[in-house]
């Protein structure tokens, strides 16, 4: 199970890498890229409690 989800723009070698899950000790349970919402990601993770999982969406601006 991955612990972080990162975003990188492969078309720009100078682009920064963004950590979309910058929470210590977080585990990612599931990742979804919904076809009806291009450029968005839905991540299920345990940001608040290690024994439970939350939902977090990518609220960063689109490029």
pLDDT for 21-61, tens place per residue?
888 877 887 888 899 998 888 877 887 777 766 655 555 44
pLDDT at 53 (0 to 100): 65
Q: How far apart are CA 20 and CA 44, in angstroms?
A: 12
- The pLDDT value recorded for residue 63 is 44
pLDDT at 14 over 70: yes
- Do residues 26 and 4 touch, judged by C-beta distance below 8 A? yes
Claim: this prediction has a pTM higher than 0.85: no
Task: Compute the mean pLDDT over every residue in the chain, rounded to the nearest whole number.
Answer: 78
- What pLDDT was estimated at residue 62? 47
């Amino acid at each position: 199970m991955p612990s972080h989800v990162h975003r990188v723009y492969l078309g720009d070698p100078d682009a920064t890498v963004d950590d979309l899950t910058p929470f210590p000790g977080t585990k990612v349970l599931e990742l979804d890229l919904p076809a009806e919402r291009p450029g968005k990601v839905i991540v299920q993770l345990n940001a608040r409690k290690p024994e439970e999982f939350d939902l977090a969406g990518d609220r960063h601006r689109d490029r």
